[in-house]
Amino acid sequence: MTPYVLAADIGGTKLAAAMIGEDGAVLRRKEVPTPAAPAGQADVVSAALTDLLKEVAGDAAPLAVSVASAGPLDLLAGTVSPVNIPAWREFPILAQVAEVVPDVPSRLVGDAVAAAAGEHWRGAGRGSATMLGIVVSTGIGGGLVLDGVPFTGPTGNAGHIGHISVDPAGSPCPCGGIGCVETISSGPSMVRWAREQGWDGPDARRLAEAAGAGEEIALAAFERAADALARGVVSVAAICDLDQVVIGGGVAGAGEVLFAPLRRAVAAHAKLGFVRRLQVTPAALGRDAGLVGAARMALLP
């Protein structure tokens, strides 16, 4: 059989696993909902992940196993504490993987870092020397590629653009900060603000539809979110000398409803000459980005 990496992508709403070839091809893939489990019931989620990994791997031994997970995470300990999976706090994910697929190397990576690595390897970021990947969804995550190499930082949490403060007089963030990008530009934050202005829709998908139909409050919500996201992007671009930012996630699925005001806002805030060259690009790999990127991280020297 073609050599492959067994990759997993763990989030609050779904668990995904795939066999990823050495060329980045998705050879086999399956996705299941993340079981709802309160604190203290880690086995509920871990059992679902075990079953998923076994089903996708089958009888073929992988070159390695690589797990992308929502954070925070601890690379040295091999543990994860995803804010959107309350059952897992300092959960020993790599120890579980070693029980399911023994005697092969394993790797842990943050989900946004994995998405950035995937887009840089086989998606919209190919060819960029210095890239920021962003996932705009229920939260906002980020991952960096510096000089062509994914950068994790010592704890694995580098690139966390969602927790750059862009409004010191803004709302408290669950991270403990004030006015973070995530408090303005995430899907739930956009919906919350729109409802405060009188919009009565149920979720971010409907908000995007309303903006696409020209509804004033929905358009304003996207303009406001785009401006906050642009301020964070421009800050990172100034620090890291970025070529490109690649944006994916559920909210990014709104297309030009998000990207048109975002490009305008980036242009308005990017005053330094080297920052003005920054390209803003939609992600290309969709829900496979984290899986492909997790495999990429396992294949790096």
Domains and their CATH numbers in the chain = 4-113 (3.30.420.40), 126-283 (3.30.420.40)
Output the DSSP codes for 208-263: HHHHHTT-HHHHHHHHHHHHHHHHHHHHHHHHHT-SEEEEESTGGGGTHHHHHHHH
CA angle 253, 255, 260 (to 5 degrees): 140
Q: With bands split at pLDDT 50, 70 and 90, how would you rate the model's confidence at 60?
A: confident
The pLDDT of residue 174 is 84
Whether the pLDDT of residue 39 is over 90: the answer is no
Cα–Cα distance, 36 to 235 (Å, whole number): 37
E strand or H helix at 6: strand 4-10
Residue in 103, 107, 78 with CA at minimum distance from that of residue 90:
78
**pLDDT single digits (tens) 86-136:** 999 999 999 999 999 999 999 999 999 999 999 999 999 999 999 999 999
Tell me the residue ranges of DSSP E strands in 34-105.
Answer: 64-69, 73-74, 79-80
User: For the segment 206-234, what is each residue's pLDDT rounded down to a tens digit?
Assistant: 999 999 999 999 999 999 999 999 999 99
Region 33-50: what's the mean pLDDT?
92
The pLDDT score that the predictor gives to residue 83 is 81
Rounded Cα distance between 238 and 257, Å, is 26
Query: What tokens does 128 get?
Result: 């960029």
240 pLDDT exceeds 80? yes
Q: How far apart are CA 164 and CA 180, in angstroms?
A: 5
Q: CA–CA separation, 66 vs 79, rounded Å?
A: 13
Distance of alpha carbon 58 from alpha carbon 37, whole angstroms:
27
What's the whole-number mean pLDDT along residues 282-295? Answer: 96
DSSP 180: B
pLDDT band of 58, cuts 50, 70, 90: confident
Report whether pLDDT(1) > 80. no
- Across the chain, mean pLDDT equals 95
Output the six-digit token pair for 276: 């003005």
| Average pLDDT of the segment spanning 248-273 | 96
Is the pLDDT reported for residue 33 higher than 90?
A: yes
Higher pLDDT, 26 or 84: 26
